Structure 1
Amino acid sequence: MTIRTTEQLISPLVNGSELADVVFKIGEEGVQMFAHKLILSISNLFWKKLFYSQNSNRSNGNKIKVIRIPDIEPESFKPVLDFIYTRKAELKLDIIWSIFEVCDRFEMDEFRQFSLNFLENNLETNQLFHYYEKSLNDQHPEIRKRLIKLIEQNSQKIFSERNCLNNLQEETIFQILKSRKLQVKEFELVQRIKERAEFLITQKENNNIKKEKEKEKEIEKEKEEEEEEEEEQEQEQETEMEMKKGKTKEKEKKIVIKKQVKKIKLKNNAVIQNSNNNKKRMKCTFPKQTNSKDKNRNVKKKSDMRLQRKTFQYRDIRSCVGNLLEKIDLRLLSNIELDQLVKANLFTKEEIKQSLNQIKNRNQKKRDQRCKTKEDLKILFITNETKQARIENILESLRSSGIKSISVLHADKEIPFLKRLKKYDALFLFSAPRGNFKDPIWLGDEISKYVDDGGGIVICAYACLAERKIKSKFSYALDGGISDQAYLPMKKGPFFSGKNGKTRCDLGKVFLPNHPTISQVKCFDGGIHSHRINTEFVPGGVDSKMIAQWSDGNPLICYKRKLEQNGIVLVLNFNPVSERKFLGDKGGISGSWSILSNGNKILSNAIQFVAMN
């Protein structure tokens, strides 16, 4: 008898329909993949919270759960199930970026480390720059750190090859040159950058030559067409004259035959080219005899053209290289190498002196001024919500971006002064639909002063936007200065109560896909009720933009800046509380945004954008 291991026992259950109580429909085609709630909940806390909240109702406990994920491909979701069951998976470099997105979405830290190790072990030195450039666009800091280490370790091999920086963008080269652990001389880096500039110049010249050739061909075709039209007109005039004189019908037949021959010649390019060449040969003339004076003039013209060509290339090189050379520390170069840079027309002696002085001044400024990071930001969360579980629900999504210091102000009990608000880098305002502010006018005036002073704020649904009911007992809408339309990028309007499922909506048109507030946001599901306000976007001020819409046309994310000296007012037209229900308490709202979508990233990106800008 052989004793089987746990992997041998569980491996037949991977994507097996036996005893399966979860069915995933992956991709647009809805490819079915079977799984088990028990194994998923043991492997990850995300699945545990999801299935615990859904199985809290006993009526739905024994039914098979169907989960649809249309924005993930089956090839990238299958390794996830393999890793959950067997702690092994077959990965490919082509799918690695989609796998990292899945890890971020389902909070799978172990699988992310497994995929990072696979990326390190299977990448070649020629592919490091290419994958590093992708990591900058996809905003994965962990991948960037790993790839930079590999570049630093293999920097001698990479930069020894010529034209290694030709196909890269300037931003990627900036990030690579920032690292001071590169085992490469500064002079070699300058040579690689110069080669990149020359490569770009040759590309521009080739494109210009192609365009000129195309224009010449078009001009030749136009001339040929004009000549043919003139010949046809002359022949028509001759025929008319002959017909008037009463010539025989045989000549008319010959004219018809000539026209048919011309049509056949137009179809055959070879015949046309030969005919054109013959015409040119007939029209050619002998060149005139030139004197010695004329020869000297031609030589001077050619030399002047060559000098102009050199200055033209020098300007192009400076335009392509000037920004990149700022990242190079000229103090590490010897005097001989500096003279070579001057001879290569990359620098002048005066520019070298100025750059050395600038490097000293920059180092002093960096010591004095320290740029704030995500961890150093201070944010104030203002709300009139009385339930602590819902407040923690919002704070969890805000902290997902790495922000640590978030303090809460209960606006139903106290009101802050402007001195207290200035201590924070940004504000987050949320008004519950059944909440009351202690003094909505005073609070609105203090927040408007904070925005006028240059501070930023994120406002969620209901606060300042919903139309306040006169007979209602609740004062969920703020008054005062911040409620003025000069600060808000949206009109006030009624909010959907969410009693019927007809109000369900999701992410619609995205106007600014490269905006930081929408980064890493693949989908957003508002839930059954999709709490939002029925309103319109109002442009105005110095800077006001619509970032994204709901699927029904209502604005979802937009911001506005009143004046250049004022701060940003960013509006999120949805309830920030998710449908998530914590273990032991009920923090979520039924019918709010789905946790399978990227609502937490929208919240974290919004507060980070407002605080950093």
Structure 2
Amino acid sequence: MSKKKNKSKTLKNEPSSLHLFDQIYNNPHFHDIVFLIGKEETKAYGHKLVLSMNSPIWKGMFYTQEWMETKGREECLVRIPDLDPKVFLGFLEWIYTRKAKISHTTIYGIYKLAHKYCMPDLKQYCTVRFRKILNGRNCLRHAERSVIEGISKWHKISLKYLMQNSKKFMNNGKCFAGLREETVRTILEMKNLNCPEILLFRALKYWAENIQNDLIKKNKTEIYERILINPDQKKITARKLVKKYLHLIRLDLMDFKNYNELIKSGYYDHRILLKEGFNVVKKFDLKAKTKSRSGPQLSDSKILLIGWCRSGETHVNDLINSLKSGGIENVTHMDPTVSIPSLKAMQRYDAIVVRSSNVNSFYKGGNLGSNLAKYVDEGNGVIVIAINTLINNPEKQIRGKFQNQNYIPLKIAERERSEQCSLGKVFKPNHPIMRDVKTFKCKEYSHFIKTNDLNGGHIIASWDNGYPLITEKRRNDNSGIVVCLNFHPISTRITNDCGKAWLQETDGNLIFSNTLSYLIKDKLSKLAQKNPKKKIFYKK
């Protein structure tokens, strides 16, 4: 036995064949291909066999009959004039050694080469490295460049880093300097930056004034590329640029001192605010401190969608996109015709959305209802899509304790197909679900459950024909909230031929995102009550 152990130990210490390649990396001896990189034609030495082992693209290129006939089997030259030698050498180094010196100047070029030559491991390596090189000085630049280079994953990583560390480098009012206008707008539109609004205003002001000065001193064509204004328009001033985005500065999160600074800057017209009914004395508590943009942080939350549609993945994906519209990234779909999630599985999620289709949708519906009831009793929130789920057909209903003990804020009834309906009376205009919701309408006709029996719940808004559109119910102080959305959940984004779909230009996405935000915030407040000494943060 000891001999076998020693033998395996010896074999384990032997270098792998891949690690032996680092001895021939960019070695002028024994190569069979030479790359001439850049305008100065910097030489890089390679081996067709090694390159082919790492990339199917090279494999297909080197061993085609055309390549063999034109280049031959001897040493051949490949010119790449439009590439930085440092980028290609870093790319080549990783192929031979599985490590490379990647800097913030070469990382984009190496990633694009990895994408071009179908090398997912190198793309992942670059992404890990990208996370490490992010800091307060370069975060905004990378957020901008990742969009230009078309790497959406890195853009999301940059914005997430910005959100988590915004207070550190937003103190520098010059942090927006040199950014493109699209980037500035994206940052100002973020709903959960952890920094005072006055810092955002200072950064916006400095950026606009910097643009104005650059138009005088520098090449105007270069500056026009950074802003979203037609060069043929009249004179571009800092005031016009600031005014364009002042509506994104949240006055309601400022204290009186910061509000005064904003007014004295001359960019904000105090008289217009007074005309709009903004009562400064009533609004500001002089002892109050500044706040950061708050509210439930949705992007890290996990949502479970339990539902099936006979129209297949297209309809399911449209509903998932609606749920993601508020910033959620993690939505898991479970097909209830195959299996029902256990309570333990449900507990991994921050909220659950349930819908059935116009065919039999729930496998062992009783189990689903019992598990959902326990999930709500623990303080979690559930959204029930009323269409089909609450019609007079037991096989399409959730059933179990969830239905039998009246957890749902709407009674079982017949489904109604009506002429085109729209948002009617809003009974609770200040309710979080109705925040910024102005319109909601279906394309040609509306589907809804025809009942006014709220099952002990409360109505938030109705259709213009008087039937409930949005209702909610909380069984007791410790339980979660169940919200019932009484409309067909699919939008005209993908179903232009479907008359019952809600119009995508109305506020359907906002209703979904506000509802999830409301349920998750309620859950967090309960956790805070249970653990008053423990600070609970919900990061994006």
Band the TM-score falls in, shorter-chain normalisation: 0.3 to 0.5
Give the structure-1-normalised TM-score. Answer: 0.35
Q: Which has the higher helix share?
A: 1
Give the structure-2-normalised TM-score. Answer: 0.40
